[in-house]
Structure 1
């Protein structure tokens, strides 16, 4: 593979001509870090091996999408061609454009010691080590195999940052000028605040949202910053090989039950996960809410569930008002419709650009004008 050509084209696409990250992106053969991956198809998750299709390999490694490398805790490196794992993705090789975005928000300079939270395939670690030198880079992940594989593959590229297998919500190995996370957290782990040096900067996403939080360490042990006028979405932190089971019973009810309340919805059914501002605001307002969506035969169906047993199902053709079934202690579809109404009435939602204060216990307080919310 002529990886230099692909890497140079990628660098040109995702960085500005004068970007400090351009040479770092152009200098990393990313395909070495992603030899195998999963793609979702008609039979579920299907294994792809780069060596079997070099052209597809180049498209995945240097393309515009993240490549899922582990599903339900099963690594693509360990899979057989006829394996079709079930469950949620648990690791991926993040697309370079998103990696560069998070690094830019880090405001990383020469001499800074940086912690990369969420090693994954090692892409961000590689670009960071190329830019500031591997002795200034530490990368951590909860998955020991990912850490070992990344360490070996990075070493093959001549890069030897510190890579350690730790649960990032617990104690961290050292102190740092910058912490850049490609996993979502909610709240900010207190260990991150303890590991951040005075005047240091934190960059992460708030779990279950598309909100990028940037904050500077404050003397009280917390941090103060903003929700950037930008967006990104990552998997959330976990404590083992896989995530715990979701609210299965609530989803079953949402798919089958008649509901305690049946009504006609105000707005057409849409996949609100594609409307990042709406979904993020709903997730902040109703912590723990989960969503699913499907299209079949010209009809759209959306499902909302919550760990408290609440659920909602809305179904309609594209532009029709939906029939909405809801059950449990709260009306989740009504919560969503109130967010969509606020967006239309006010022309926007008060999340992006809002002030953010991270208290020493990790709680995130958001505020803008008369609106405020606390993320725990």
Structure 2
């Protein structure tokens, strides 16, 4: 049933999707649940509940397989993990339709030498079912995931090259016609550009945004392409057992943003919106002001409060009673975060969309990526961004 909802029978991806046993790659997984009124990650074991295993494995949904350093394969049943800002999901089996969207954007041919990200190994299996397995290289930073993926790929009849590798560093030796990443990166690593064949194509998402970029290598060693109109969200690339940049649950600034009046008290121009729920606002704001921590709270009487925190000490708190009411906004620190959000929302109201929609992407050989459209541009270099209004 999942195959029919993702691809048509005449698609070249129909047979790979129909014949790849996804349940082999996800024998255990984490799901969101509550325990004692608190949000938790609860373990699911396929062998203990085959109906749930097959239902979830063959649904078009993402299955989380690792929380922080805790892999579902090694977890103890009946011992849920508390969900918190410091305990993020670190690996998963991406929903099939999203994997195929990334693969289709790459315009894979029958002879394409492919480098893909590994995770559970399911996406790698799809690539092997579409191409000769010797054309497929798959990488992951986690040695256990690589070991498990090799074993499960072999069970499914595939033996591609699978290597332990930090995706943002040196890649396995070779030249690739397509590099497709289902983990998000701060910007395009130089190693990708060096490993891409002439006219090769890369497809990836940018960390902390919903942006999918598709770019073809240029003769100067850079790449040029565009932002896809479809949005996608992937886990960010990590460099070890867990993320080392998670915004803490209760930083000192958190006490300030909850209670202080701040240097600015105004009435917001628009009703409340929670930025992470809106990919275009989130993506544009992240390009212009990287690293904002977004939080929200709803009181028993229905009053909603949105919080924005930044490591430079900037913060904003916006509160409104009704869904359509303009919020009271308190701001402090060196920058006015809510004012910038309202400025972006005004672009959306006036123009009907944001310039990030379908923007041109130009990547220099050193990995700096510039997004541009209709006189607007923004450049990201590693974890920094430079706005050119």
Q: Which residue of 1 aligns with 2:207?
A: 207
In 2, Cα distance between the equivalents of 1:75 and 1:280?
30
In 2, Cα distance between the equivalents of 1:260 and 1:56?
53
Paired residues of 2:294 and 2:308 also in contact (CA < 8 A): yes
Unmatched 5+ stretches in structure 2: 382-389
Q: Aligned pair count?
A: 367
Partner SS for 1:349: coil
Cα root mean square deviation, aligned: 1.5
Q: Which residue of 1 aligns with 2:279?
A: 276
In 2, Cα distance between the equivalents of 1:89 and 1:196?
30
In 1, Cα distance between the equivalents of 2:350 and 2:97?
33
Task: Give the counterpart of 2:18 among 11, 23, 26.
Answer: 26
Q: Which residue of 2 aligns with 1:158?
A: 157
Q: Indicate yes or no: 2:260 matched with 1:261.
A: no
Superposition deviation, residue 281 in structure 1: 0.9
Superposition deviation, residue 270 in structure 1: 2.3
Task: Give the counterpart of 2:318 among 314, 334, 342.
Answer: 314
Task: Give the counterpart of 2:296 among 288, 293, 296.
Answer: 293
Superposition deviation, residue 53 in structure 1: 2.1
User: Per-residue displacement from partner, 1:166-222 (whole Å, max 9, x unpaired)?
Assistant: 111111012200000001112210001111111100000111111111011111111
In 2, Cα distance between the equivalents of 1:203 and 1:101?
10
In 2, Cα distance between the equivalents of 1:123 and 1:145?
15
In 2, Cα distance between the equivalents of 1:133 and 1:370?
44
Q: Indicate yes or no: 2:375 matched with 1:370.
A: yes
In 1, Cα distance between the equivalents of 2:225 and 2:377?
15
In 1, Cα distance between the equivalents of 2:21 and 2:299?
40
Paired residues of 1:128 and 1:137 also in contact (CA < 8 A): yes
Q: Which residue of 1 aligns with 2:28?
A: 36
Partner SS for 2:29: strand
Unmatched 5+ stretches in structure 1: 1-8
Task: Give the counterpart of 1:74 among 70, 75, 78.
Answer: 70
Q: Indicate yes or no: 2:340 matched with 1:348.
A: no
Q: Which residue of 2 aligns with 1:127?
A: 126
Superposition deviation, residue 252 in structure 1: 4.4
In 2, Cα distance between the equivalents of 1:11 and 1:120?
21
Paired residues of 1:211 and 1:352 also in contact (CA < 8 A): no
Superposition deviation, residue 70 in structure 1: 0.9
In 2, Cα distance between the equivalents of 1:56 and 1:271?
32
Paired residues of 2:2 and 2:60 also in contact (CA < 8 A): no
Change (3 A) 1:263 1:326: same
The 10-residue stretch of structure 1 (359-368 or 60-69) with the greater mean CA deviation from structure 2: 60-69
Superposition deviation, residue 85 in structure 1: 4.9
Output the TM-score relative to the length of structure 2: 0.91
